[in-house]
């Protein structure tokens, strides 16, 4: 019976990995188009995230970009967050985000453009 339980649990875990999708979200703020992507499916732990910024079909390469992911406090669980700066790599900003557990994580992407204005995009991801 124990072996059957192990096999069933293993199948569920493999199915979750096989059907997990990469992150691909876009939004618009103040005339800027912001895209958030990953090359691999999001996992608990370390994840490379790519952020693209453009305005009027022109890629923005001179912004300062930060991301904050957080999970609100819930009964029996404290507030959790993770903050990181992104670095320009090619035409996109790359950062690493660490999700400490599965669940729904909210994010704020803040970017400061050459005109010194700070813009914020909000969204969420599910692990």
Boundaries of every domain in the chain: 22-126
pLDDT at 1: 52
Superfamily name with CATH number, domain 22-126? Domain of unknown function DUF4426 (2.60.40.3340)
CA–CA gap between residue 63 and residue 26 (Å, rounded): 17
pLDDT at 51: 98
Residue 103 pLDDT > 50, yes or no?
yes
Mean pLDDT of 10-14: 46
CA–CA gap between residue 60 and residue 53 (Å, rounded): 5
- Residue range 85-102, pLDDT digits in tens: 999 999 999 999 999 999
CA–CA gap between residue 53 and residue 37 (Å, rounded): 12
Could you give the maximum distance between any two Cα atoms of the chain, in Å? 65
- Residue range 62-85, pLDDT digits in tens: 999 999 999 999 898 899 999 999
**Cβ-count burial of 76 within 10 angstroms (0-12 exposed, 13-18 middle, 19+ buried)?**
exposed
Task: Tell me the residue length of the chain.
Answer: 127
This prediction has a pTM of 0.80
pLDDT at 11: 44
């Amino acid at each position: 019976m124990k072996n059957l339980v192990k096999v069933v649990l293993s199948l569920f875990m493999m199915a979750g990995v096989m059907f997990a999708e990469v992150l691909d979200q876009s939004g618009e703020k103040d005339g800027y188009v912001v895209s958030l992507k990953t090359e691999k499916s999001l996992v608990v732990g370390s994840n490379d995230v790519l952020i693209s910024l453009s305005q009027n079909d022109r890629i923005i390469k001179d912004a300062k970009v930060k991301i904050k992911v957080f999970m609100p406090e819930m009964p029996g669980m404290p507030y959790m967050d993770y903050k990181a700066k992104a670095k320009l790599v090619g035409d996109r900003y790359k950062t690493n985000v660490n999700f400490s557990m599965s669940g729904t994580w909210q994010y704020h992407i803040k970017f400061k453009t050459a005109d010194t204005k700070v813009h914020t995009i909000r969204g969420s991801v599910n692990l």
